[in-house]
Amino acid sequence: MSFIAQRLSYFDSSDFRDAIKKQALLHNPIDLSIGIPEELTPDHVKAAGIRAIHEDKTTYTPANGLPELREALAAKLQNDNKIYVKPSAVTVVPGLTTGQLLVYLAILDPGDEVIVFDPYYPPYPHLASMVGARVVYVSTLPTFQPDIPALEASITDKTKLIVINSPNNPSGAVYPEATLRKIAAIAEKNNILIISDEIYEHFVYDGEHFSIGSIYPNTITMNGFSKEHAMTGWRIGYIAGPQEIIDAINELQQYVVMSSSSIAQHAAIAALRQKPAHLVAKYKAKRDLIVERLGKAGYDVKGAQGAFYTFVKAPHNLTDIEFVERATEHGLIIVAGRAFSQLHGYIRISYGADIYTLERGLVILEKIAGELAS
């Protein structure tokens, strides 16, 4: 009998284990699978981290983060997002992935229902299931925009939470303000909390980012430094929301996290002082290239208004796994859509990679489309 707890079954990746094994054997693959921006952590951010080490700022910090960082984050939320919170209503976490679990542990009881738009960032449903909540999926196909009547129809008296992620991983969809206002009205009417994961807020190429937390106080806004500041390995993010919920998360942090890295926190303070404004034009150019080339090759590309992913239907009714295996045979790594969706016919392509890698990957995707058409 296995010693492993039942809750681990929610992370079952047996469906793609073979595909991942084959990808691991590739020599010098073209990798369009990962959610890592091509940039390196900016020099001034690295310098701040190094300075923190030299100045022996290497002990635990308060569980909710350094006061000066939380003050800077409250100011950022006010200026950029029109979310007015006190520094006490902001907590620093070791990345949003851990943050997601902390929020769930703080607010969900077994049997509570959580609405997740499909496709989704994988931890949203899996961690919710792991804490005993019931996940209710609301499809966003075919446009990847929330279907408001479908959302309303999925609400029951057990619904506690709606999870929103705009700009979206994996579809790249950006939800317009009007849609978010409708979602906020539904949440308010039914007394439902909202989580808004805004980690890609600066990667918007069509439309504008809007923070639902600016109009709906029962929003837990999550954001981090991994993408915009190219700090995926520093493990640093933050959560802002109703004081009662932030206090509960802080209590949990004492036991689960103790404190986020002091070095990463000092680096984050430096990161907040300088926005990497050049990123948007650079990523928009990559987005335009991918949409144009995939479209010409016959792929049906929707969404892709933001973040750095596109979620595309595998042509000729191939399953995602079949398509990913074909790509692997050509030396290209992409992710099977079932990691992000209840559907099994989509693939996720990341354009976090540099343009040279992206070009090489596109050539292969064009080739596969041609092979399938002939």
> Under the rule (CB under 6 A), what is the footprint of ligand PLP?
35, 95-97, 121, 165, 169, 197, 199, 224, 226, 232, 237
| Stretch (H or E) spanning 288 | helix 279-296
Report d(CA 325, CA 222) in Å as an integer.
Answer: 35
The whole-angstrom separation of Cα 227 and Cα 168 is 13
Report in angstroms how near the CB of residue 144 gets to ligand PLP at its nearest: 14
Q: Based on CB atoms, which residue is closest to ligand PLP, 103 or 312? A: 103
Which residue, 121 or 351, has its beta carbon nearer to ligand PLP?
121
Shortest CB 347 distance to ligand PLP, Å: 16
Comparing CB distances to ligand PLP, the nearer of 235 and 266 is 235
Look at strands 113-118 and 90-93 and give their pairing.
Answer: unpaired
d(CA 362, CA 294): 7
How far, in Å, are 58, 98, 124 from residue 260 at the CA level?
Answer: 11, 11, 21
- Minimum distance between the CB of residue 167 and ligand PLP, rounded to whole angstroms? 8
The minimum distance between CB 233 and ligand PLP, in angstroms, equals: 9
Which residue type does 251 have?
Answer: E
Cα→Cα distances 23→4, 20, 122, 332, Å: 27, 5, 20, 8
CA-to-CA separations, 119 to 25, 141, 142, 172, 322, in angstroms, rounded: 28, 9, 11, 10, 19
Closer residue to ligand PLP, CB minimum distance, 224 or 337 = 224
Nearer residue to ligand PLP within complex by CB, 229 or 302:
229
- Which secondary structure element, helix H or strand E, spans residue 285, and what is its range? helix 279-296
What is the distance between the alpha carbons of residues 114 and 132, in angstroms, rounded to a whole number? 11
Q: What is the CA radius of gyration of the chain?
A: 21
Nearer to ligand PLP, 95 or 125 (CB): 95
Q: How far is the CB of 352 from ligand PLP (least distance, A)?
A: 9
DSSP summary character for residue 238:
E
- What residue number has its CB nearest to ligand PLP? 95
C-beta closer to ligand PLP: residue 34 or 47: 34
Beta carbon of residue 124, minimum distance to ligand PLP (angstroms, whole number): 8
| Residue 256 Cβ vs ligand PLP, minimum distance, rounded to whole Å | 15
| Of residues 197 and 320, the one with the C-beta less far from ligand PLP | 197
Supply the minimum distance, in Å, between the C-beta of residue 42 and ligand PLP.
17
What is the C-alpha separation between 316 and 82, in angstroms, rounded?
45
Question: What secondary structure does DSSP assign to 70-110, as a single string?
Answer: HHHHHHHHHHHH-----GGGEEEES-HHHHHHHHHHHH--T
